[in-house]
Chains A and B, each alone.
Chain A
Amino acid sequence: MKKRVVVTGMGVVAPNAVGLANFEDAIRNGESGIRFEEELKDLNFSCQIAGKPQISEEKIAEYFTPLQLRGLNSSGIVYGVIAGTDAWKDAGLKIEENEQPDWDSGIIFGTGILGVDKFREAIHLIDAGKTRRLGSTSVMQTMASGISAYLGGKLGCGNQVTTNSSACTTGTEALLMGFERIAAGKAKRMLVGSCSDHGPYIWGGFDAMRILPSKYNANPTEASRPMSASAAGFVPGSGAGALVLEDYETAKARGAKIYCEVLGGAANSGGQRGGGSMTAANSEAVIRCIKDAIQFSGISAEEIDVINGHLTATTRDTTEIENWKTALKNDDFPYINSLKGMTGHCLAASGSIECVASVLQIDKNFIFGNTNCEDLNPEISALISEEKVPRKTLEKPVNILAKSSFGFGDVNAVVIFKKI
């Protein structure tokens, strides 16, 4: 028997807000987390703006032991540990110093590249012939699975503890992987999510590809413009999102708050064929992924109230909407929004941060407005009714929401959430 899976806890570290309540306020009000970054200017970046969560040293010290804080230089681990720990606590779960791990709880927490600043430190020491000066923390702060390892030790999880990586699909894929593990009866509870480091060594490669906006350095909050006629590329971001997924019966038995149900989803790849490439999605694969997710979830396309798209603010936004339209086949297109107008593109963290934003909309009955989309792209208004792209937050119950994420390597993931 397939188990039902629900969301019982969430945590978020986003460029525009840290913590669930702050994040809800921020996305309701369209608050931007995009700021000018002096460091990027000094390094001659074309795009000198970015989305970076604002976290004080005091806040960080609440989540790490004094020993862990020594030499801690991995922003992805900081973001991921804060979001993951918050999600765990939000689910009403305790962090215990018990002798036995919790065999029924696991972690799938993804990332793209981890601890790049720590890695830079190591490279400088190694090149100077001082390898012995690295200390003991270089490995755990730079291994991709460092984030699931830090969380696993903190929370004492004894089920599968791993890290997935699939570019900007990572967070949504992690959620689907956790869902599958619980549905199959292999775990009762999975902390899922993803994190992404900040800084020039993460963002430089994208700047070099000239896919970031360079004309908004003086007015950063206007730079990220998903679905807008003046969209000029994605603004790089960072942060982490985390969700506790739980077997429905277990959640109910312990009286947990249930945010929504995860009906299921799909992950696939366009194989870098048929118009797909390392950097562009094969539309047929995207359409299949959406259809598969709907079919697997046992709903019909008309039941989807809201789509939280990938929508990064490039010319591909129109293609994504075209793909949704083809896949859904209904005349009444759902509402659609993109978080990236406020946070920028948080790369490996984007999927999980946006899943948190998606679930909040179901739980709190609202559809957040699209920021910087006053000038909706006419190619998009030719496809769907303009009112389906809300520019202001709508207070409206959301029953079923579909969340999509796409990534380099031509990989896709779509997940379907439902009010319970």
Chain B
Amino acid sequence: MKEKEILDSLKKIVSPYVQRKEGLENFNEETDFIKDLEVNSANLVDVILDVEDEFDIEIDNDSMNGMMTVGDAKNIIERKLASA
């Protein structure tokens, strides 16, 4: 899967949880889920579940803890897809 496709799906997945919509306008690998998008920290687990469903992968707790930015998420998804 191409990087852009992953980023596009991530943007779609995270959108409902975003409280700072301006953050979506400049959505890139540096975008921080909590700082830039103001996703409620409790909702991060919901983002993870939606990502799992979309890409048919499983993201363990350790991987989740390192997922601060869109780039982190993309890397985890690529890694999981490669090992699947």
Q: Which residues of A contact B (CB under 8 A)?
A: 66-67, 70-71, 133, 135-137
Contacts and interface: CB of A to CB of B under 8 A. Distances in A.
B16 A136 contact: no
A395 B43 CA distance: 53
Given A136-B42, A136-B46, 14 more contacts: A66-B16, A67-B16, A67-B17, A67-B43, A70-B16, A70-B46, A71-B46, A133-B49, A135-B45, A135-B46, A135-B49, A136-B43, A136-B45, A137-B46
Contacts, number: 16
Contacts of A133: 49
A200 B68 CA distance: 42
Question: Which secondary structure dominates where chain A touches chain B?
Answer: loop
A152 to B, nearest CB: 16
Question: Which secondary structure dominates where chain B touches chain A?
Answer: helix
Interface residues of B, number: 7
A71 B16 CA distance: 13
16 contacts: A66-B16, A67-B16, A67-B17, A67-B43, A70-B16, A70-B46, A71-B46, A133-B49, A135-B45, A135-B46, A135-B49, A136-B42, A136-B43, A136-B45, A136-B46, A137-B46
A136 B50 CA distance: 12
Interface in B33-80: 42-43, 45-46, 49
B32 to A, nearest CB: 19
A150 to B, nearest CB: 14
Contacts of A135: 45-46, 49
Nearest to B64: A132
Contacts of A137: 46
A136 B43 CA distance: 6
Contacts of B45: 135-136
A133 B58 CA distance: 11
Contacts of A71: 46
A66 B46 CA distance: 14
B19 to A, nearest CB: 9
A133 B50 CA distance: 10
